[in-house]
Amino acid sequence: MVNIDSIFKLTYYSVRKKQKFPAFKTRRGNVLYFKDLNNANEYIASKSKYYEEKHNDIYAYTLTEIPLGVETRNWEYLSLRIYLPDGTLWGEDAYAHFFPHSGLSPVDYNYWGRRNMFHGRHKDQIKFKLGDIVEILGCHENIYWSDDEVNLAVIVKTPPSATEIDEQLEQYIATHSGFDTCEHALSTEFGSSLDTYEVLSPLCPSIDHAPTIFVFEPKKISTRRKNELQEIYEKYLAERK
């Protein structure tokens, strides 16, 4: 069960020229499948150049690694990569967001526990800081936000660094024992739910989460929207005093 073959699913998202914040819809383009990562990357490079020349409004590409021969849900994957319109790699989830639903031995449980563990983000992978205004891409793999939609938000907490996760993991193991520290259990405590920015949005009255790689720099924001988000952030800071 441990050795699972996979394929790569490429999806691209485009936007209308007239974008209405604080949220606007995206168009999901045709889906393509590749046997390996190199072929997918080559296609993205050629396709992004073609779209640039044609002046199409690509928002981003998602490249999802999907296991073969096992049941999966829309949001499950073995790895995930996000690319900018010019083909530049924007972010990557190298850990799995997938756990087989049946037929697992104890060895399999530990293997998939390791595959699903989030080990923190390195400094260059945490692209935003507190108070930054951002855009969040909603799609199947982003379970926190509506599909085919981009939302405006402001950052109130960044994802943990690799150093912070190491410290939390060490403390967790020191205070737990037995099954609580097996790799399957650790993946529950240290899984993808940690790999998010905490954000505030004009459309949500409370703190929401945005998976790290689905958070982008805003393309264009009016002064009114910028002031609105700044007020939301300042109110949040005042309430925490």
3 state DSSP class of 137 = strand
Domain ranges of the chain: 6-240
3 state DSSP class of 175 = helix
- Name the burial class of residue 185, with classes exposed (0-12), middle (13-18) and buried (19+) by CB atoms within 10 angstroms of its CB: middle
Location of structure tokens 């606007």: 24
Q: What is the mean pLDDT of the chain?
A: 89
How confident is residue 16, by pLDDT bands cut at 50, 70 and 90?
A: confident
Q: Write out pLDDT tens, residues 144-194.
A: 999 999 999 999 999 999 999 999 988 888 888 766 667 767 787 888 999
Q: Write out pLDDT tens, residues 69-127.
A: 888 888 999 999 999 999 999 999 999 999 887 777 888 888 888 899 999 999 999 99
Residue 39 in this model has a pLDDT that exceeds 80: yes
pTM comes to 0.91
> What HEC string does 69-122 produce?
CCCCCCCCECEEEEECCCCCEEEEECCCECCCCCCCCHHHHHHHHHHHCCCCEC
Share of the chain above pLDDT 70, in %: 93
